[in-house]
Amino acid sequence: MSEPTTVTVPATGLVLLVGVSGSGKSTFAREHFHPTEVVSSDACRAMVSGDEGDQDATADAFDLLEHWVGIRLRRGLLTVVDATNVQQRARASLVALAKRHHVLVDALVLDVGESTAAARNEARPERDFGAHVVRRQQRDLDRSRRGLRKEGFRRVHVLGPAELAAGVTIVRERSWNDRRELRGPFDVVGDVHGCASELRTLLLELGWTVQEDGAGRAVGAHHPEGRTAVFVGDLVDRGPDTPGVLRLVAGMVEAGAALCVAGNHEAKLVRALKGSSVTVAHGLAESLEQLAAEPDEVRARMLAFMDGLVSHYVLDGGRLVVAHAGLKEAYHGRASRQVRAFALYGDTTGETDEYGLPVRHPWAQEYRGAAAVVYGHTPVPVATWTNNTICLDTGVVFGGALTALRWPERTLHAVPAEREHYAPVRPLVPAAAERDPAVLRHDDVGGTRWLETTHAGRVKVPGENAAAALEVMSRFAVDPRWLVHLPPTMSPARASRREGYLEHPEEAFDEYAGWGVRRVVCEEKHMGSRAIATLARDQDAARRRFGVADGSTGVVHTRTGRAFLDDSLGLVARLTSAVAPLFDELATDWLVLDCELLPWSLKAEGLVREQYAAVGAAAREALPAGLAVLERAAARGLDVADLADDLRRRRDHAAAFRDVYTSYVRPTSGLDGVTVAPFAVLAAEGRVLTLDEPHPWHLARLGALEDPFLTPTRHVEVDLDSPASRAAATDWWLALTADGGEGMVVKPAHRTDRASGVDRRVQPGLKVRGREYLRIVYGPDYPDSLEELRGRDTGHKRRLALREHGLGLSALADLVAAEPLWRVHQSVFAVLALESEPVDPRL
Ligand code: CTP
Ligand code: MG
């Protein structure tokens, strides 16, 4: 028996099975591929018509097939097409599809002969089309044979009866640029351009040991900590010692100490060395002259090295992509002429600028990918991050510097040029000059999107919610540069069964205990308006940290990103001065605070006047009048006692309702009468404090600020294992709410976001509102319908709370990490979008 045949297919790519009906394509696919990898025309026919034999459905079936295959290829999944594919036309559209997604495509021909196939079909009741069909397919196949290799397939595998009988092993081959298994750490080095001396200095400064040959020439290097160097290409041209650079880098690559991608200068030098006629410009002459002085075998080795360079690498589990001129996300790990052209030359428009150099699309400005893209090609004065991309070409050959990026550390290291080796054609411009990073774009947030967040996992933002949020953001929100966080919604504790209570502390305690939380903080819920304050110490800090140079130093905004008061009132300045000691204590010159702005009537005046006051006044007029009528009726001997009792109860309810809302109404004039109750320091320079510090820390820090503008937040800590501790907190809550106090918020005393590994259901906070206060929410007579209210559903609100909490944390984490504004904004925007979900507003 002969050996099994090995068939190598691309791990990310397309495989077309080719063979007449009955040649065994479906059987082969079942044996060698995962069911989800196989897209069959029969299955598509069945899906669009209910009958896999329905030939009338063929056009629609192939429509579906191509759509399905296209989605899989875009997502980088191996896809096997199980269809006869015996006609050139049918293959051509699939080959084109693979090209569109920049993946390789193989043909796998099952060639069993017409008679075998026909005989097999005899036995298949579902293939009763007669022998002429197979004969026609066989003729098509035979006609295809010769040209098959030229149709754009990377490989054509032909398996005849003998190979099929001996067995087949499928090997999935990853593309050359897919080296995600390499985890580094890496030292990525920018364009060297023949500056061998600076390269050597850079490597030494980064801790590399350089090996020399007998003549003292650097021929290799290794790093004692096992680092790998990655060169972004353009090792050659313009500089004084191109052969020296090639000798060192080729030595490192051959020894496994370095990787190198191709630059446009290598590509041209290779063509010149191979004898193509090229224009000798841009420093090519220097290279050719220097290489001419090398022995033939050395030059041959250097040519082979340059000729073998791949267009880009995907490294470190997909987190790092290195390409000479950068690479858009759709091209990462892909292989095609366009991918290579983009990686070597960038996204060029074909136009040239006033210096005769190509105009390039600012692809980095559009980049929204998760992988960091490190590149060179366009000299910049200093390497800076733009949307998770960084250009390391700092023009060493033009007298700039040679720059390396350490990965995963993300630190930069630069060695200045020893001199200007070559005069620059045009002045160096920052790569990011084309787009102001603070200007947000519709496509940052529009449409349905999934956000990957550390703290809430994958969060879906539906398109219609995004549209609603966009409306709010663009029309009412504060300057987005100040809008770095929105707070999550909060669910009440589950309904209490206690007589007369809808919400009660014990339920919140039980819920947290059930989620494995041992300590909680009960915090007074101020009856005011939730406010987020983003404050810079001064105008300088505002400019430096938030890019705001209009003289403003911060903002205080609502849960939906709107400003509270006309800032001419000086709210920001007043609050900044009240919390000023924190700047030094926390070694920061900016802060994001979670607060309540008091009094409630400040923002809710209209609501109070038009709704609550109206209800109160109407009730207080109508109910006594009704009672007076009933009293007269009773005096005439009618039995209206029950009705009168009812009205009396409702009159008392109305009075209580009025007492509750009026206790939150306080006259203000300008900032007079206004106070702020801060209860968390969300973030400061270098730290997301709401993650780093337990909640009691925040209350203690903020409580220590003594300024009449600040209202302290009363609170108690509760040990959930201690009945006495729980009882004390309950008493505290009863006292707090007896005369209408809004209630309290119960929060875990330690970190509970998803990344901290606790129960995923733990709510960031649960509110427990006072019995009297709930009249404002559910109406004066709500105690009459307690039973019904106990059935209210908090599930949706809680799911939203978890996602919004995670998104808010992601926004702060990105802000602290100095990620671009659009990234911060995406999370903030998503909170707002989720807030447009329909949820019972009384919860
Ligand atoms: N078969 C076989 N020996 C093989 C492969 C297939 O006997 N080595 C049989 C199968 O069991 C089936 C018939 O041949 O009854 C056709 O095989 P199938 O894989 O369904 O052929 P396809 O090429 O998929 O045919 P079609 O184009 O009609 O779907
Ligand atoms: Mg089949």
Ligand 1 site-directed mutation target among 21, 26, 31, 109, most atoms within 8 Å of CB: 26
pLDDT at 821: 82
- β-bridge pairing 715-719 and 312-315: unpaired
Task: Report how far residue 171's alpha carbon sits from residue 9's, in angstroms, rounded to the nearest whole number.
Answer: 6
Please state, rounded to an integer, the average pLDDT across all residues of the chain: 89
Per residue in 453-492, pLDDT (tens digit) is 777 777 888 888 888 888 888 778 888 899 999 999 999 9
Determine, yes or no, domain membership for 668.
no
Q: Which ligand is nearest to the CA of 128?
A: 1
| 698 in Cβ contact with 680 (< 8 Å) | yes
- Tell whether ligand 1 has an atom less than 6 A from the beta carbon of residue 19: yes
- Tell whether ligand 1 has an atom less than 6 A from the beta carbon of residue 127: yes
Q: Which two tokens stand for residue 840?
A: 């019972």
**Helix or strand run (H / E) with residue 719:** strand 715-719
Do residue 547 and residue 680 come from a single domain?
A: yes
Do residue 307 and residue 395 come from a single domain?
A: yes
- Tell whether ligand 1 has an atom less than 6 A from the beta carbon of residue 23: yes
Ligand 1 site-directed mutation target among 52, 84, 120, most atoms within 8 Å of CB: 120
Do residue 162 and residue 182 come from a single domain?
A: no
Q: For residue 61, what are the domain limits?
A: 5-173
pLDDT at 447: 75
Task: Report how far residue 19's alpha carbon sits from residue 108's, in angstroms, rounded to the nearest whole number.
Answer: 9
Take atom 4 of ligand 1 and give the residue whose Cα is closest: 24
C-alpha of residue 96 to centroid of ligand 1, in Å = 28
Q: Cβ contacts of residue 310 below 8 Å, gap of 6+?
A: 176, 177, 261, 262
Determine, yes or no, domain membership for 431.
no
C-alpha of residue 43 to centroid of ligand 2, in Å = 9
This prediction's pTM:
0.61
C-alpha of residue 146 to centroid of ligand 2, in Å = 24
Q: Residue 626, SS3?
A: helix
CATH assignment at residue 192: 3.60.21.10
pLDDT at 753: 56
Where helices occur in 636-683 by DSSP H, the ranges are: 641-662
pLDDT at 428: 60
Q: Which ligand is nearest to the CA of 23?
A: 1
Task: Report how far residue 44's alpha carbon sits from residue 65's, in angstroms, rounded to the nearest whole number.
Answer: 6
The residues placing their C-beta within 5 Å of ligand 2, an ion, are: 26
C-alpha of residue 112 to centroid of ligand 2, in Å = 14
Do residue 338 and residue 226 come from a single domain?
A: yes
Take atom 5 of ligand 1 and give the residue whose Cα is closest: 24
Do residue 167 and residue 189 come from a single domain?
A: no
C-alpha of residue 170 to centroid of ligand 1, in Å = 19
Do residue 479 and residue 361 come from a single domain?
A: no
Determine, yes or no, domain membership for 436.
no
Q: Which two tokens stand for residue 2?
A: 């002969």
CA dihedral for 546, 547, 548, 551, sign (positive or negative): positive
The total number of structural domains in the chain stands at: 6
Do residue 208 and residue 227 come from a single domain?
A: yes
In the chain, which stretches have pLDDT less than 50?
Answer: 431-434
Determine, yes or no, domain membership for 374.
yes
| 400 in Cβ contact with 391 (< 8 Å) | no
pLDDT at 432: 43
Strands of the sheet with 13-18, listed across from one edge: 38-40, 79-82, 13-18, 104-110, 155-159
Question: Could you say which of 173, 202, 224 is where a domain stops?
Answer: 173
- Tell whether ligand 1 has an atom less than 6 A from the beta carbon of residue 748: no
Task: Report how far residue 327's alpha carbon sits from residue 323's, in angstroms, rounded to the nearest whole number.
Answer: 6
Do residue 242 and residue 195 come from a single domain?
A: yes
Task: Report how far residue 627's alpha carbon sits from residue 643's, in angstroms, rounded to the nearest whole number.
Answer: 9
| 486 in Cβ contact with 804 (< 8 Å) | yes
| 701 in Cβ contact with 591 (< 8 Å) | no
- Tell whether ligand 1 has an atom less than 6 A from the beta carbon of residue 545: no
Q: Which two tokens stand for residue 499?
A: 């007589």
C-alpha of residue 123 to centroid of ligand 2, in Å = 14
| 379 in Cβ contact with 425 (< 8 Å) | no
Cα torsion at 397, 294, 189, 372 (round to 10°)? 110
Report which ligand 1 atom has the smallest distance to the Cα of 110. Answer: 23
Do residue 484 and residue 514 come from a single domain?
A: no
Do residue 743 and residue 756 come from a single domain?
A: yes
Q: Cβ contacts of residue 375 below 8 Å, gap of 6+?
A: 232, 322, 323, 324, 325, 326, 327, 389, 390, 391, 392, 393
Task: Report how far residue 696's alpha carbon sits from residue 717's, in angstroms, rounded to the nearest whole number.
Answer: 8
CATH assignment at residue 61: 3.40.50.300
**CB neighbours (10 Å) of residue 223?**
18
pLDDT at 433: 44
C-alpha of residue 109 to centroid of ligand 2, in Å = 14
Report which ligand 1 atom has the smallest distance to the Cα of 30. Answer: 19
